[in-house]
Structure 1
Amino acid sequence: MDDTPRTSIGIDFGGTSVKLGVCCGGELLHIDTPIQTANFHGPSALIGEMAARVAALRQQYPDIAAIGVGVPGLVDFDHGFVHELTNVPGWKHVPLKAVLGEKTGLPVTVDNDANAMAYAEFRYGAARGLKNVVALTMGTGIGGALVLDGKMYRGTGFAAGEIGQMSIDYDGVAGHYGNLGALEKYTGNQQIAEHAVRRYAEAGIDKELTECSPKAIAEAAQAGDDIARGVWGEVADWLGTALANIAWLLNPD
């Protein structure tokens, strides 16, 4: 295997936005303006915009050799086939690797975004030199990834590490796949904001969702807001429950 660093484009496909960056050997060289996911209806239009951005970046960095895409959902890693994105409507059974590769003329690797993040940390970051690692991503949804005995563990159907679907309340809110008490239905960005609005309302305070983003709640908690501190405490309890179960099950480094 040739480990010589090559300039490449990384695409972080999120439920809210798609971000492109140029990197080489673990060093980030450039961050492009995010693409707002909601502005593009369906895979074809969004993939077309990705390809256009790639073409523009190749004008600045002509030695770009490959593209890596991390997506928040179920991905057939071997074939670069996106089975489903839980937080992006219309993305089912999309041959992303083949289509983006054809449009750009570059080799494309597609993986679950949490897997991509975990592998980057394993090779270059906080988990370098470790053998057993659990990674967690938080945003629109909750993702996760596993490195076991020094190798990415994907599971039989490429669904291993989907920590956001872990049940933390057997009588709780149903997740995307129907399981009750799914973690991401409590700790996703939108869910945290909705929970904060409810807690403020219980105290007789009217708040809009836009005022209760996780960032806003964190800042309010640091400033001494008791309601915000209570919300963060509940979020920490939910996350802690999931992570404690994972720690006992897998015994990671």
Structure 2
Amino acid sequence: MEFTDKAIGIDFGGSSIKMGVVLGKQIIAEAPVIIPKDYPIPTELIKAIADQVNALKEEHCDIKAIGCGVPGFVDTPTGRIHNLTNVPGWVDIPLRDLLSEKTGLPCVVENDANAMGIAEWKLGAGAGYQHLICLTLGTGVGGAVIVNNQIVRGSQFVAGELGQSSINYNGRVGAYNNPGALEDYIGNNEFAIDSQRAYLEAGIEKFIDDCSPAALDAAATAGCEVAIACWDDFARKLACTLANCCWLLNPEAFIIGGGLSNAGNTLFTPLRKHLAAQLSAPFRDHLKIIPAKFSNEAGIIGCAVLALEMADA
């Protein structure tokens, strides 16, 4: 698929907001300022975002539209945010209309995991697949579901929250009062805490910083049995949710991105093993598990793709 016009993609990250001008698969210019998210009032943050968009417009006068990806529940047709994850005050905010008003550009707003999935499906590792599930693994677990070459948003446009699927109905109670939610076991923080505990049970004391995904990947690569076992347990938990997805939707492939996916075969080898063990041949034999292509750029690129599709509709 070719996109020959320019659009701005905006990605609400964990602590800051990044944006860039996208042409095709490339971010050709970034905003001069990375915007922190700790503005006390949503309208002040929206003004800061619009100011950076307008700065990019001065250098790229042929920008066609804006796409904005946010970590929360969005009414996609109206671009209205129901609420943002861990951002106080962002309840029932008409983000699309406010950004359009302040920049003079058409705007579309989407869940950030959907934006990542759209980038991978349209232009990245999932190009050519019609039945696809994309996951992003980080502080939380986000998902995007593509069925019959269409993204699935659901009746209220909030489908694909795979991190909230339960792997244990008697398990840890998450933010939405749902016991056993996947991301309460394999999110960055939870993975580090559980790994620190595993080291302690093996008679080894570790600081929590020594149990980050990057540190655990390095330790497993060096042959540390505790780290290898931690990654195996992580993969087994993730495979539980992926197996449920397979039995329900029979995808062709899973595309896995986010910071935790940087572990490569440390994660993907046990994940393939545990997932295969839970599936019968029609679901398993042609299934692909593929690392995402765009890494941290996926959100910006996916938002730009959505913006151009909206502008051309």
Secondary structure of 1:65 counterpart = strand
Distance in 2 between residues matched to 1:88 and 1:207, nearest whole Å: 31
CA RMSD, 1 decimal: 2.0
Offset, 1:4: 5.8
Change in Cα spacing, 1:233 to 1:46, as seen in structure 2 (3 Å) is: farther
* Matched AA of 1:18: I
Q: What is the rounded CA distance, in whole Å, between the counterparts of 2:196 and 2:140 in structure 1?
A: 19
CA distance in structure 2 between the aligned counterparts of 1:206 and 1:16, rounded to whole angstroms? 30
- Could you report, residue by residue, the CA deviation over 1:213-250 in whole angstroms, capped at 9, with x for unpaired residues? 22222222222222222221111111111101101110
Q: 2:242 matched to which residue of 1?
A: 243
Residue of structure 1 in register with 2:48 after alignment: 49
Aligned residue for 1:41, secondary structure, equals coil
- Aligned equivalents of 1:178, 1:230: Cα separation in 2: 29
In the alignment of these two chains, the number of paired residues is: 250
Corresponding residue of 2:65: 66
Aligned to 1:158: 157
> Which deviations, in whole Å up to 9, do the C-alpha atoms of 1:44-87 show, x marking residues without a partner?
33323222222222233232221111112211100001112233
Moved more, 166-175 or 49-58: 49-58
SS at match of 1:169: coil
Q: State how far apart, in whole Å, the 2-side matches of 1:110 and 1:122 are.
A: 18
Alpha-carbon distance, 1:93 to partner: 1.5
Gaps spanning 5+ residues in structure 2: where? 253-313
Kept in 1: contact 2:141–2:187 (CA 8 A): yes
Task: Name the residue aligned to 2:11.
Answer: 12
Give the aligned partner of residue 26 of structure 1: 25
> What TM-score, normalized by structure 2, do the two folds share?
0.74
Amino acid at match of 2:123: Y
Give, in whole Å, the separation in 2 of the partners of 1:236 and 1:126. 21
Corresponding letter in the other structure for 1:240: A
Which residue of structure 1 lines up, in the alignment, with residue 108 of structure 2?
Answer: 109
1:86 aligns with 2:88: no
Equivalent in the alignment of 1:145: 144
Q: In proportion to residue count, which structure has more helix?
A: 2
8 Å contact 1:140–1:189 — kept in the other structure?
yes
Answer yes or no: is the 8 Å Cα contact 1:14–1:140 preserved in 2.
no
Report what 2:129 is aligned to: 130
Between 131-140 and 226-235, the greater mean CA deviation after superposition = 226-235
Contact 1:80 1:98 in 2 (8 A): yes
- Aligned-pair identity in percent equals 48
Secondary structure in 1 matching 2:87: coil
2:216 aligned with 1:217, yes or no? yes
Contact 2:3 2:23 in 1 (8 A): no
C-alpha change, 1:89 and 1:228, in structure 2 (3 Å) is farther
Which residue identity is paired with 2:92?
Answer: H
Of stretches 132-141 and 88-97 in structure 1, the one that deviates more from structure 2 is 88-97
Amino acid at match of 2:46: I
Summarize the Cα distance change of 1:55–1:162 in structure 2 as closer, same or farther, 3 Å threshold. same
- Give the whole-Å Cα distance in 1 for the aligned partners of 2:188 and 2:40: 22
Relative distance call for 1:234 and 1:88 in structure 2 (3 A) is farther
The one-character-per-residue Cα deviations of 1:126-166 (angstroms, maximum 9, x if unpaired) are: 22222111111112211111111111111011121110100
Cα 1:235–1:42 change in 2 (3 A) is: farther
Residues 225-234 or 149-158, more deviating? 225-234
SS at match of 2:4: coil
Provide the residue aligned with 1:96 in structure 2: 95
